[in-house]
Amino acid sequence: MSRVSTAHRYGFWPSRWGAGNAAAASRDFAELRAGHGGVLWIEFDPADARSTLWFHRAGERRCLSPAGVSLRSRVYEYGGGAFCVTRDGVAFVGEADQQVYRQALVGDPKALTDCAARRYGDLQHDAFGEAILAVEEEHGEAGVRHRIVSLSLRDGARAVVIDGADFYAAPTLRADGRRLAWIEWNRPEQPWTATRLCVAERDADGRWGSPRCLAGAEGGTSLQQPRFAQDGRLHCLSDAGSWWQPWVEQGGQWQPMDDRAIVQSDHAAAPWQLGACSYLPLASGLLLSRFEDGFGVLAEATSAGERRLAESFTRFRQVAADYRHFYAIAASPERSSAILAIERTSGAVSVLAGGDVALGEGDLSRPEALRFASGDGEAHAFFYPPRNADCRAIDDEKPPLVVFLHGGPTSACYPVFDPRIQFWTQRGFAVADLNYRGSSGFGRDYRNSLRTQWGISDVQDACSLLQHLAQRGLVDARRAFIRGGSAGGYTALCALAFADAFRGGASLYGVSDPLALGRVTHKFEADYLDWLIGDPQRDTERYAARTPLLHAQRISAPVIFFQGGRDAVVLPAQTEAMVAALRRNGIAVEYRLYPDERHGFRQAAHLAEVLECEWRFYQALL
């Protein structure tokens, strides 16, 4: 039955879809592996803030994780690679203690490691040695060390396999177990600026030979996701040609794949987490996911050309394959994240989990891709207009705007169903999800354009986006708000301090003092600020000019802050100093502390409360 709409002021539209609905729709998936005649994945449910392991085979799925068990790695703080398939079941990292456990497909987990000072991630099964290879992070008096280790599945015995570099990722074995490939890099680089692809050979006695660097030794190239094909050839994604493209070891040479089916675009996002799998070598080609103007594409590339798969989906995060199906974690503008099984012959798509349609067509706001001029270049965004079948605008009123800023900042936003965005568009706000210069998915040059420009070009892009939308008559520029989490919170605070464009804003565990962040941040990001702003000792004036805390007197717009009490990246004290500075200046401020949340909220009740509080905060300013 059709619904009759009534006129309401933008920003005050009543909606049947509440903050609780939006929080419940935040269920998501993290990792995916084929094995044991089916497919396994990690599923996060905000209702209990647990990440559990699921197994689907022969049309049935079941949870393998006992009550109270949650899977999550904290290596490099952002984790990843929290489980792998073994001969008789799985091995996984327990969220509570960061130790490795083994578990049969039927039965309870059994601890494989027991050392509180060590964390594990990027697990890989070594069938030849009947062991688990893992990236190990050890916290000790001498600091934090990383290495690749082997953990025996028989008795948990630990052996160091590779050591000496500052960071490691993606240990990968050839099918016969006799060749190991991995990614490594040293400070001050990040995994998206410069890494090395290395290999080692295993002799008949099981000992590993000396490491050898195949690519990246000269620096300036980011490599990720090494993969061995069935014929033993090693593939890897390299941005030596300006995009993360598939390269291959051919005749002793490392070279880009000579295949016209390989499109010039990024085939992966920035590797913030371990365990990424955005492509797979196949017997007859490659299974690839890539970005086209921010939209995700999944395709099978062979010498005969390209066959696109699951074309109604617009983001693909993990891929896997067996002899009958391709698998992927995917999302689209219409439905939540889903586990897909794609029949290899016909291309028919089945949804194994997720993929819920939470809003009908009359309530769903769809993304429009934007490319607009900013500074001396251009930037990208997705625009979502207000949408609610029960409501319509009053006369010629233009909607208020909320600019979303992703974290990272070397990360990205995607044109998929985001329940937070739909919460706003349901209430008569327009939303612009910004991929400011420095975001990944648009090539190396775009990603590197943020170097030493953090707090400058990203703020300029946010202001240019508002101007672009206002000139098109899509929003009311006098009623624009800006919000972001982590690095996005920093950009939001900089925009409020250094640009007179926004009526208010929100910082979710956002950076307000980069130098304070640098003093306490973890090893993985210890040198990131040097890249984003400059050397803290040499470029002190630059830091002073871009620190919102030092320019709190320039902020005249109200701000709401949300902070996790257990946040190890942006400590509560940093946010509380910013709140106190604004209050001394008489600025309207709200501050909400969630004692048991970390850097990024996970509990459904808190996710809902944040949405509701932020909406009420902006309403008061309209």
pLDDT for the residue 521: 86
pLDDT for the residue 1: 54
Other CB atoms within 10 A of residue 377 CB: 13
Q: Given pLDDT bands bounded at 50, 70 and 90, which one contains residue 25?
A: confident
The answer to whether residue 383 scores a pLDDT higher than 80 is yes
The answer to whether 415 touches 369, Cβ cutoff 8 Å, is yes
CA distance 462 to 446: 16
Burial tier of 616 (Cβ tally within 10 Å: 0-12, 13-18, 19+): exposed
pLDDT for the residue 505: 98
- Global pTM reads 0.95
CA distance 91 to 112: 9
pLDDT for the residue 260: 59
126, 248, 404 from 251: Cα distances, Å? 26, 10, 47
Burial tier of 370 (Cβ tally within 10 Å: 0-12, 13-18, 19+): buried
The answer to whether residue 12 scores a pLDDT higher than 90 is yes
- The tens digit of pLDDT for each residue in 402-431 reads 999 999 999 999 999 999 999 999 999 999
Q: Given pLDDT bands bounded at 50, 70 and 90, which one contains residue 4?
A: confident
Q: What are the sequence ranges of the domains in the chain?
A: 359-621
CA distance 541 to 544: 5
Task: Give mean pLDDT, residues 146-157.
Answer: 97
Task: Give mean pLDDT, residues 188-214.
Answer: 95
Gyration radius of the chain over CA positions: 24
Task: Give mean pLDDT, residues 368-396.
Answer: 96
- The tens digit of pLDDT for each residue in 454-468 reads 999 999 999 999 999
Find out whether the peptide bond into 66 is cis, omega within 30 degrees of 0.
no
Residue 43, token pair as written in the block: 């599923």
pLDDT for the residue 427: 98
pLDDT for the residue 211: 96
Task: Supply the DSSP symbol for 478.
Answer: G
Which of left, alpha, beta for 220 (phi over 0: left; psi -120 to 50: alpha)?
left
pLDDT for the residue 2: 65
Handedness of CA 297, 303, 305, 309 (dihedral sign): negative
Which of 451, 425, 369, 11 is CA-nearest to residue 189? 451
CA distance 302 to 605: 47
Pick the CATH number of 359-621 from 3.20.20.70, 3.30.56.10, 3.40.50.1820, 3.40.50.1780: 3.40.50.1820
- The tens digit of pLDDT for each residue in 278-313 reads 999 999 899 999 999 999 999 999 888 889 999 999
Burial tier of 407 (Cβ tally within 10 Å: 0-12, 13-18, 19+): buried
User: At CA 76, angle to CA 70 and CA 82, rounded to 5?
Assistant: 30
Cβ density class 174-199: b for 16+ within 10 Å, e for less: beeebbbbbbbbeeebbbbbbbbbbb
- The tens digit of pLDDT for each residue in 163-194 reads 999 999 999 999 999 999 999 999 999 999 99
β-pairing, 110-111 vs 100-104, is antiparallel
SS3 content of the chain, % helix, strand, coil (to 5): 15, 40, 45
pLDDT for the residue 52: 98
> DSSP of 53-103, one letter per residue?
EEEEETTEEEE-SPTT--B---TTTT-B--EEE-SSEEEEEBTTT--EEEE
- The tens digit of pLDDT for each residue in 572-601 reads 999 999 999 999 999 999 999 999 999 999
CA distance 288 to 11: 41
User: At CA 269, angle to CA 187 and CA 417, rounded to 5?
Assistant: 140
- The tens digit of pLDDT for each residue in 327-354 reads 999 999 999 999 999 999 999 999 999 9
107, 294, 482 from 545: Cα distances, Å? 58, 32, 20
